[in-house]
Chains A and B, each alone.
Chain A
Amino acid sequence: MTGDPLFADGFDWVVLAILVAKAVIGFTIVVVGVIFMIWFERKVVADMQNRIGPNRAGRWGLGQTLADGIKLIFKEDLKPDRADKPVFRLAPYLSVVPAFLTFTIVPIGGVFTGGNDGGVELFGRRTWMQVADPPVGVLFLLAMSSIAVYGIMLAGWSSGSKYPLLGSVRATAQMVSYEAALGLSVVAVVLLSGSLSTHDIVAAQAGSIFDWNVIATAAVPFVVFCVAATAELNRPPFDLVEAEQELVGGFHTEYSSIRFGMFYLAEFMNTITMSAIIVTLFLGGPAGPVLFGPPLIWGTLWFTLKLLVFLFIFVWLRATLPRYRYDQLMDLGWKRLIPLSLGWLLVIGAISIGRDAGWNRPLTLVGAFSLGVISWAALIGAMRVAKLRRGGDEFGELSTATERVG
């Protein structure tokens, strides 16, 4: 079961047509999703803040995003004098394209239960319900999110302005750091599913709810992934890159018109894509009970519902939490999430090997966990010692602003 069965019988014009159709449909879904998501975010945040939110353009303000988009297109496109012009023009595309490409590997439906392999018939050909299913699926996700860093970094750097520069420096450090935690928590999933392909990962979770990776990996990689994903998306409470109150607009301060619109688009595209990835990797993708009617619809329905839950959570976080500070963000990433996901990966690895090699199950569990706890304690101890040696006070090393006077 490797790769899309579309290519099993060679490549002809029908295959090409199906590919183009899938790409167009995928793009449409994402763009419509973004339009909905922007409206949804504004409406939900408004509700949480006792406001009404957009309600002028169209019914319930549904046309607000469209109106904003049209406005952005017709606005004057300013380029700062001191900008590095070619890079300045390139950066928004570097943000948008990876955001869309990541979505191509997400299976948005399909029946995986009862001996089905999740394929659908299209013009007499079988294919998966995702735009592409590269064998390196998960690596593709990580690669794309790495490329997205360039968009933000180059945008800030090429603006020839100081606030965007600070924003891009923050972006680079933040996204590179959390990439590690993101990758390590995905490895746990890959270890269980035995494949990098998103289709196979979904297929492996198709049985019951206990096959979902969030339960099969005992929730820890799921939590780490969610936190790291929020940081990777630069969404609150990790929105230091934009940090309106600190850096004005962060990396896109100097952008206007549709170039700014593209960053905005990319941001929301990323939010949708990352929620879809979380659903795919940890929550079984389209898996869910079929209540009545054709099972194919239920798969997509469950997928959409799970997606909405995460979109709502992202909005909820934005309305609730204050922003992390730069050093606290780094602390969380390097000192907590990465050791935690690394340790958990080792535990899961030990258990997997133990199952294959027929070790005593409880003994393996106890051994792996105690080793994990000991390592954790050792790590915390090492950090304490390091901190004491640096002479940091109880607030950490960054609050030395006034201690010299005392």
Chain B
Amino acid sequence: MATTDVYPGAATSEGAQELAARDGSTAAELLRESGSVLRLSEAAVAALSEQAVPEDETMIINMGPQHPSTHGVLRLMLELEGETVLRTKPIVGYLHTGMEKTGEDLTYLQGPTNVTRMDYAAPLFNELVFSLATEALLGVEVPPRATWIRMLMCELNRISSHFLFLATNGMDLGAISMILYGWRERDLVLQFFEKTSGLRMNHNYIRPGGVAADLPDGWRDDLAGILDALPARLGEYDSLMTAQPIWQGRTQGVGVITPEEALALGTTGPILRSTGTPWDLRKDMPYLAYDQVEFDVVVGSYGDVFDRYAIRLNEIRESMRIVAQILDAMPGGDYRVQDKKVTPPPRARIDESMEALIHHFKIFTEGFRVPEGEVYVAVESPRGELGCYLVSDGSAKPYRLHIRGPSFVNLQTLPHMLRGGLIADAVAIISSVDPIMGEVDR
């Protein structure tokens, strides 16, 4: 085995993925890297470029795609001076499965099965945004009960997704028990999902025209059980993490981002709200029935890792508030629209009605046709604005499906937030962005 002095990573089949040579870190490189996005003045960029250090004192380290805390297969090239991060280049694409392209070959009824695999920590939001877009093109109104069931399931999904964040965030900062506590609480919600949709993730529950099934018997008791159990557990988190001095030391003042920067970088969700910008689509552009429930938008004031953690922790509490209101306000009626062209007929009808059998056959082989047009619908997923851009050419399959994944957009804050911090901070910051790579690569 010959010892190679030069690591051959620079010449992969995917082109050069190494960081550019050090001379690129002069003012021009900095301007390209962050200045143009952050709208810095030339003077500010020039001042920044003076921080450059000689090339032989830095080390370029490859973090990921197989690294314990890059949340899947995110890859970062870090340039370090000692342990201080100077430059970062995030590299995505390791989980690319072509789901958007696949979506063009699936009918609108098969669509949710496909998109639900994008943000696998919050699958119901993907289904919701796809269904809302399809319904907007179709021009159908879903019955109120379907809307409220969707809202209920999405808020529960927000809770489970944020518990996933709390688990991994604790883990990334070294509080290893948190991964199991977070998982334990998340499981309470997942059990309800399993009972409702039959699946613990990738539910395919919210579909164009309504939801797949009505809520199961005893759903009120199940939800009451969850709402009873969670507040005490959240209190435990507060004493284990929020009030823990080491935790505060690790997160406060780390990965700071200002409101202007966050807006310039297009971030949404907890990252934007951590800067004090109260932007939440549920409040600002209400969809479903969010204008009929009461909840607060949680915002931070420093824009640091701690704020993003605290926002998510408290959003769980807000979501529980919404769930409690839905429990009281859940209307009766149908759980899907009674439009024979869109909704498959009930199983019992197929045996007795020729019409029903034909509709059933047509819907599951050919699908329903959607009028020509294009639409963009956005919902507030746990990670930010989740948008679906759908173009129909009048056939039964979308002409173009594009998902605006909040994780993908939020990832571009990394080079900015990581600069000047330590590796330990880098881990905390990546964790606080909470990227789900399935949604990034789609």
Question: Measured between C-beta atoms, what is the minimum distance from B178 to chain A in Å?
Answer: 8
- Contact of B177 with A245 in the complex, beta carbons under 8 Å: no
Q: Which of B1, B173, B241, B426 contacts A323 (CB 8 A)?
A: B173
Q: Contacts of A327 on B, CB cut-off 8 Å?
A: 422
Chain A residues near B421 (CB, 8 Å)?
398-399, 401
A236 to B44, CA, bound (A): 41
Contact among A45, A239, A326, A401 for B420, CB-based, below 8 A: A401
- Select the stretch in A145-153, A179-187, A314-322 that faces chain B: A314-322
Which has the most chain B C-beta neighbours within 10 Å: A162, A169, A403? A162
Per the bound structure, the CA–CA distance linking A163 and B63 in Å amounts to 9
Q: How far is the CA of A236 from the CA of B427 in the complex (A)?
A: 17
A81 to B250, CA, bound (A): 36
**B69 on interface, CB distance cutoff 8 Å:** yes
Inter-chain CB contacts under 8 Å: number:
129
> When A49-B180, A401-B255 are in contact, do A243 and B424 touch as well, CB less than 8 Å?
yes
Q: Do B48 and A239 have beta carbons less than 8 Å apart?
A: no
Bound CA–CA A396/B420 (angstroms): 13
Q: Which residue of chain B has its CB nearest to the CB of A163? A: B61
**Considering only CB atoms, which chain A residue lies closest to B244 in the complex?**
A322
B419 near A401: Cβ-Cβ < 8 Å? yes
CB distance from A172 to the nearest CB of B (A): 13
Name the A residues within 8 Å of B171 (CB-CB): 245
Tell me, in angstroms, the Cα distance from A50 to B177 when the chains sit together.
9
Contact of B424 among A81, A326, A393 (CB under 8 A): A326
Chain B residues whose CB sits within 8 angstroms of the CB of A243 once the complex forms: 174, 424
Distance between Cα atoms of A306 and B442 in the complex (Å): 56
Q: Is the CB of B40 within 8 A of A50?
A: no
Which residue from chain A places its CB closest to the CB of B85 in the assembled complex? A401
Enumerate chain A residues within 8 angstroms of B170, measured Cβ to Cβ.
322
| B67 pairs with A248, CB closer than 8 A | yes
- A-B pairs with the 10 shortest C-beta distances? A323-B174, A395-B253, A401-B420, A245-B69, A399-B253, A322-B175, A49-B180, A322-B173, A402-B256, A322-B174
B401 → chain A, closest Cβ, in Å?
A: 36
Check A162–B83 contact: CB distance below 8 A.
no
Is the CB of B353 closer than 8 A to any CB of chain A?
Answer: no
Contacts beyond the supplied A322-B250, A398-B422, A405-B40: 4 A-B pairs with Cβ under 8 Å: A170-B83, A244-B68, A320-B177, A401-B417
Known: A82-B3, A162-B61, A402-B416. A321 touches B244 (CB 8 A): yes
Instruction: Evaluate contact between B61 and A325: CB separation under 8 angstroms.
Output: no
Point out residues on B near A: beta carbons under 8 Å: 1, 3-4, 38, 40, 44, 47-48, 59, 61-62, 67-69, 82-83, 170-177, 180-181, 184, 240-241, 244, 246-247, 249-250, 252-258, 261, 416-427
Q: In chain A, residues 242-262, which have Cβ atoms closer than 8 Å to a Cβ of chain B?
A: 243-248
Chain A interface residue count, Cβ-Cβ cutoff 8 angstroms:
46
**Residue A360, interface by CB 8 Å:** no
A405 touches B425 (CB 8 A): no
A322 touches B246 (CB 8 A): yes
Known contacts A318-B176, A319-B177, A401-B417; A326 and B246 CB within 8 A of each other: no
Beta-carbon contact of A245 and B253 below 8 Å: no
Closest CB-CB distance, A85 to chain B, in whole Å?
11
**Cα-based distance from A48 to B416 in the complex (angstroms):** 38
Q: How far is the CA of A244 from the CA of B418 in the complex (A)?
A: 19
Give the most central of B171, B240, B417, B422: most A CB within 10 Å.
B422
CA distance A240 to B424 in the complex (A): 9
Cα distance, A318 to B177, chains bound together (Å): 9
In the complex, chain B residues whose CB is within 8 Å of the CB of A323: 173-175, 246, 250, 424
Do A239 and B174 contact each other (CB < 8 Å), given the known contacts A162-B59, A321-B244? yes
Asked if A402 and B417 sit within 8 Å, CB to CB, the answer is yes
B176 in contact with A246 (CB, 8 Å): no
Residues of A within 8 Å of B82, CB to CB, are 169
**CB atoms of A326 and B174 under 8 A apart:** no
